[in-house]
Structure 1
Amino acid sequence: MSNSTSTSPRGGSGDGADPAAAPDQSAPAPTAAATAPPPRPRLVGVDVARGLAVLGMFVIHVGLGWGLGADGANPLTDLVSGRAAALFAVLAGVSIALLSGGSAPVQGRAMGVALWRVVVRGLLVLPLGVGLTMLGTPVAVILAYYAAFFVLAVPLIDERWKVVAGTAAILAAAGPVVSFWLRSMIADGPLAGPAALVEAYDPMVALSGSGLLDLLVTGSYPALTWLPYVLAGLAVGRLDLTSLRVRAGLVATGTALAALGYGLSWVAMNPMGGRARLEAGYSAAAMADHGGYTSTAQAMAEGFSGTVPVNDWVWLLTALPHSGTPLELAGAGGVAIAVLGLCLLAEPVLRRVGYPLAAVGSLALTVYVGHVLLIWVAENGLWQGTPLQWVTDDLALTLLVGALGGATLWRLALGRGPLEQPLHTVSSWAAKRIP
C-alpha cells in the first residue's frame, strides 16, 4: 500500500484520451481541508505525446510518410516501428496514475473507485478490441491487450513510484525469459496439449482467432512482456510532472535507458558475434510463426510481431521492433519516457501550436478505432465507385488530415470524444457502486 503523503501539484491530462485516461483527472484529490484546492492545469505534453503515438501507428498501418525519402521509401518507418506502440503503452500507465491522483494518490474509498474504474474500462475495451480484430485488417489491434494490461496493473495502483518502477524493471528483465521458456514448452513440449485445450475452448479464439493465450504470452502485445511499459508509465505518473526538474529527468533517464538497451544489443549482435550465430543457425520452422522470414538478415531488417523465435536464446539479446526482449523493452521504453519528457518540457509552446496534436491525443481511442474501421473499408473496397471513394484513395493523407482536423473541431466544440464519453460515464457509474 502506498504511504505517499506528497502534496506537490499534480497535472491532469486526457479527458478520456485513452481507455485508461480519466476525464476528471484535473479534479483535486480529497483532502482534510474544508475548501478543495483549485483544479490542476492540463498536462498538454501528455496529450501531445499520445497524439504522436497515434500518428506513429498511422506510419506503420497505412504508410504515412511514404515517399518522403530520397529513394521513395518511408524514412519514418524505422523511426517509429515498435516505439509508437511502446509510447502508447507507457502513456496508458501514466493515465492510470493521473486517474488515481498523480503524485499525491487518492486514499481510501476514492482509491477503490479509481481502481474499479480502470478495471471496468478494461472490461469495456475488451469486446471493442475483439470486434476490431474480427474485421481481419492487417492491423495488430492493441485494445484487447489493454484489458489485460489494466487488470494486471491495478494491484500496484496504490504503491509508491519506486516500488512500481522496481517491479517494472524486474518484469522487463525476467518476463521475456519466462516468455521464451513458456513458448518453447508450448511449441514442442509438455505445454503443447494444455495450450491447445485452452485455445479450443476460448470464445475469443472462436470469434477473432486471438484469445487469452495471445493476450498473455504469444500475441502481438503479450502482457508478459508488455506490462513493464505500463508499469513504467504508472511509476512516471506518480512523479510531479509539473516540475521542470522531473521533466528534464525523464528526458535524461529515458535517453540513458535507450542507449543502454540498443547499445548492449548492438554489442551482443556485432562484436560478440550474436548475429553471426543466428545467421548460421537459421531455422525456417522456427521462423514460421514469426514473420516467415527466409533469412536471419531479413528478420533483422523487418523485426517481429510481439515475440522472438525460440530456437536460440541469443534472440533475447536483440532489440528489434516488437521483439519483446529485455533490451528492446529498455530501448523502446527509454525512447517513450524521453519523448514524454520532451513533450512536457515543450508544453508552454505546444499548448498553442500543438493543439491539433494534443486533440488527437485526447481523443486517442476514437481516432484509433476510426482508423482501423477506415482501413477495413479500404481493404474491402466498400466505397469504390461512390462519392466517398476519395477518402480511401489516399488513406494516409485522409487519416492524417481527418485525425488532426476532426479531433481539433470535436475537442473545441464538444470536449470528450464519442467513445471516450460513454467509457467515462459507464466506468464511473459502475465503479462507484462496487463495494
Structure 2
Amino acid sequence: MSNSISPSPRDGAAETAADPIDSARGASAAGTAPSAPAAPSGRADAQPSPAAERSGGPGPGERSEGAGAAKKAADRLVGIDVARGLAVLGMFVVHVGVGWTLADGSNALYGLVSGRSAALFALLAGVSIALLSGGPTPRAGHDMGVALWRVVIRGLIMLPVGTLLTMTGTPVSVILAYYAVFFVLAAPLMSERWKIVAGTAAVLGVLGPVVSFYVRGLMAEGGPLRGPVAAVNSYDPLVALADDGVVNFLLTGAYPAITWMPFVFAGMAIGRLRLRRRAVQWSLVGVGAGLAAVAYTASWAALALGGRARLEASFDAEAVAGHGGASSVAEALRVGFPGTVPVNDWAWLLVSAGHSGTPFEVFGAGGIAIAVLGLCLIVAPYLRWAVYPLAAVGALALTTYVGHVLVIRLAESGLVDGTPLGFVSDRLDLTVLVGALVFATVWRLLVRRGPLEGPLHVVSMWAAKRIP
C-alpha cells in the first residue's frame, strides 16, 4: 500500500497525538489553549473510551459536554507538556545558571537537575513516539509505517539542526543531533508490546554502561580500536564541522545512545499505558521513586564499602582530564561528568553522578524522570492555568531549546554589551528563563504550534505519507 493515500481514521488520531519533538502534548495535540480551567470534579478518574485514550478526545459516537474548547482542554494530557517544560527549565539551570547561589558559590539547583533534566527530556521523547504511533493501541500496517517514517524523518531533520547549534561554539552540550540516533534506534521497537520495550530498557540500562566502559577502554591510547576510531572520525564530516560525529553519538559523547536509549525505551513503554488512569499515574510515581531510591542507595553503599577508597587510590588526573577534568574524586562526584566516566578503573561504574552513564545513574535518573512524569500527570489537570506557562514551554520545546542556545551565543558575542539589550549578557539566566516563559505562553495562546515545531510537523508528515 502506498503511503501517498489519504490517512485513515486512525491517521486522524495520529494527527492529534503527541509528536516526539514539536509538542509532547500527551495523547492529544489539539493545540488549542484552554478556554476555561478544567473543573477538578471526578473527571481526572474518568475512564475514556479507547478512541479517546489514543486521540485525547471523545470516541466515535460520544458527545462532548459543555463548551467544545473546554472539553478538548480537559481531555488533553497537559501533564506531559508540564513535565517537558520542567525538563527544559532544568537544562536552563545547567546551561545559564538559573537558580540561586549558596554560600560555597555553587548553584543550589545544579546538583538537583544535572543529568536528570536531560534524562526526563529523553524519556518524554519516548513517550511521545509511543503516543504518535497509537498510544495504548499501537497501529498496524500502513498507519504504523507512516508513524515510523515520521519519527525517522524528524530525527534526520534534527541532525543538521543540532550540528548547526553545536557549531555556534556555545558551552552547551547540544542534545538535538543525538536525537537523530535515538529516533532511528527507537523505530524497530515502535510496534512491540510495552513489556518487551520495558524489558529492553531494563537490560540495556545494565549492559549498556558496561559495554560502553569496555569498548571505550579498547579505544583508549594504545588500545586496538584507537586506530580504527581515528580513521572513522577522519572521514566523518560531522566531526570536521562540529567535532561531534557518529562515534560520539553512539559511545563517547555527552548523550551516547548506548547509555541513553534506556530512557527513550522506558518512555516508549510508558506511552503504551493508559496514562489518563489515576492508578497508572500513581504507579509511575511509585515505580519511579522506588527505582531511584534503590539505584542511588546501592551506589552510595557500593562507594562506602570500598568503591570510594579504590577510586581515591587509583585517581589519575590524566585519565579524568577527558571526562570533566575534576581534580579529585570528591569534585568528580559533586560536579558530574560530560557523558561518560574514565576507563582507568572499573569502580567508576559504581558512581551515580549526573551524566556519568553508569547503571546506577541510568536507573536513578530514569526513576526520577518516571516519578516526575507521574506527578505532573496527577497534578497538572487541577492547576491548568497556573502551570500553563510551563506547559507552553514544553509544547514549544524545540523552539525554546534552540532559542536559548542562540541567546547564549548572542550574550557571548558581546554584540549587546553597552546597548539597551545589555541585560541579555548581564542577566543571562533571567533573560533565558523569563523570555522562554513569556514567549512560549504568548505564542501558544495566539498561534498554537511553535515556529519550529510547525514546519517540522508539516515536512515529516508530508514526506512520511509519500514513502511507499
- The TM-score range, normalised by the shorter chain, is over 0.9
Q: What is aligned with 2:67?
A: none
Q: 2:407 is matched with which residue: 374, 378, 398?
A: 374
**CA 193–19 in structure 1, closer or farther in 2 if over 3 Å, else same:** farther
Aligned residue in 2 for 1:169: 202
- The answer (yes or no) to whether the contact 1:14–1:47 under 8 Å persists in 2 is no
How far off is 1:385 after superposition?
Answer: 2.4
Alpha-carbon spacing, 1:107–1:401, altered in 2? closer, same or farther (3 Å) = same
Q: Tell me, what secondary structure is at the counterpart of 1:352?
A: coil
**Residue 162 of structure 2 corresponds to which residue in structure 1?**
129
Determine whether 1:407 maps to 2:440: yes
Q: Secondary structure at the match of 1:384?
A: coil
**1:233-262: per-residue Cα shift (whole Å, max 9, x none)?**
000010000000000000000000001110
Q: CA deviation at 1:387?
A: 2.6
What corresponds to 2:141 in structure 1? Answer: 108
**Which residue number corresponds to residue 52 of structure 1?**
86
Aligned in 2, Cα 1:122/1:37: closer, same or farther, shift over 3 Å?
Answer: farther
Task: Tell me if 1:66 matches 2:100.
Answer: yes
Partner of 2:295: 261
The answer on whether the counterparts of 1:90 and 1:232 sit within 8 Å (CA) in structure 2 is yes
> Quick one: distance in 2 between partners of 1:22 and 1:343?
12
Cα offset, 1:398, TM superposition: 1.1
Tell me which residue corresponds to 2:311. Answer: 278
Q: Call closer, same or farther: CA 1:291–1:282 in 2, change over 3 Å.
A: same
1:43 to 77, 82, 107: 77
Count of equivalent residues: 422
1:325-347 residue CA offsets vs partner (Å, 9 max, x unmatched) = 00100000000000000000102
Render the CA deviation track for 1:67-95: whole Å, top value 9, x for unaligned: 3x466642111111110000000000001
Paired with 2:29 and 2:314, the residues of 1 have a C-alpha distance of 54
Corresponding residue for 2:375? 342
Structure 2: gaps of 5 or more residues = 1-9, 31-50, 64-71
- Identify if the C-alpha distance between structure 1 residues 35 and 335 changes in structure 2 by more than 3 Å, giving closer, same or farther: closer
CA RMSD, Structure 1 to Structure 2 (Å): 2.2
SS in structure 2 at match of 1:353: coil
Q: Does 1:192 align with 2:226?
A: yes
TM-score, normalised via structure 2 length? 0.86
Is the CA contact 1:359–1:404 (under 8 Å) kept in the aligned structure 2? yes
Report how far residue 285 of structure 1 moved: 2.0
- Structure 2 CA distance for partners of 1:36 and 1:190, relative to 1, 3 Å: farther
The one-character-per-residue Cα deviations of 1:153-202 (angstroms, maximum 9, x if unpaired) are 11000110000000000100100011001100001311101000000000
Quote how far apart the aligned CAs of 1:350 are. 2.8
| Residue of structure 2 equivalent to 1:424 | 457
Note the residue ranges of structure 1 that are not aligned, 5 or more in a row. 1-6
Distance in 2 separating the partners of 1:37 and 1:432: 29
Which residue, 247, 255, 273 being the options, matches 1:239? 273
CA distance in 2, matches of 1:84, 1:181: 27
CA distance in 2, matches of 1:133, 1:164: 31
> Structure 1 length normalisation: TM-score?
0.93
Contact 1:17 1:363 in 2 (8 A): no
Aligned to 1:155: 188
Residue 226 in 1 paired to residue 229 in 2? no
State the shift of 1:383 in Å. 1.3
C-alpha spacing 1:227/1:13, structure 2 compared with 1 (3 Å)? farther
- 1:74-124 CA distances to partner (integer Å, 9 max, x unpaired)? 211111111000000000000101111111112211110000000000000
* Correspondence for 2:238 among 204, 224, 227: 204
